[in-house]
């Protein structure tokens, strides 16, 4: 399954066009709809990300030196947040993943002021798991 998402800078630019957060949420939800998701058989306990309020599954593999992710969530807004994270990390080398300034990216999106603290914690848990996977593939 392949995801077709804009890159992180395009998302920052796109979100800047919207006047209010209602429109931005809709854009983020629409981004999430472009993620193919996982089959029920692929939603195994070992792929579940701990620390998320909603159920989030993350699977990864390396192809031609690039880390590829398959993700899914049972919540539409979380699926959209996953799309934001995938725009930053999917189809990148492990080094690019580790070097990407996710705090800067989230600040540019002005995201954490507009999602609940538990969603913010879940987002951090997803990023931590992705960075840990990237670190493992370098070692």
Q: How far is CA 91 from CA 68, 110, 122, in A?
A: 5, 24, 22
Torsion angle, alpha carbons of 41, 47, 52, 53, to 10: 20
Q: Which residues contact 64 (CB under 8 A, 6 or more apart)?
A: none
3-class SS of residue 125? helix
What positions carry a catalytic annotation? 52
CA-nearest of 2, 27, 3 to 13 is 27
User: Which of 109, 117, 96 has the alpha carbon at shortest distance from 31?
Assistant: 109
SS3 113: coil
């Amino acid at each position: 399954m392949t995801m077709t998402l804009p890159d992180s800078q395009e998302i920052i630019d796109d979100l800047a066009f919207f006047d209010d957060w209602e429109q931005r949420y809709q854009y983020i939800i629409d981004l999430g709809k472009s993620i193919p998701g996982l089959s029920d058989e692929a939603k195994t306990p070992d792929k579940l990300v701990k620390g998320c309020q909603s159920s989030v599954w993350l699977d990864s593999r390396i192809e031609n030196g690039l880390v590829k992710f398959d993700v899914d969530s049972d919540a539409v807004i979380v699926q959209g947040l996953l799309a934001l994270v995938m725009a930053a990390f999917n189809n990148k080398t492990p080094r690019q993943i580790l070097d990407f300034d996710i705090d800067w990216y989230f600040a540019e999106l002005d995201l954490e002021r507009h999602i609940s603290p538990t969603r913010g914690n879940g987002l951090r848990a997803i990023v931590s798991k992705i960075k840990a996977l990237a670190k493992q593939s370098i070692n």
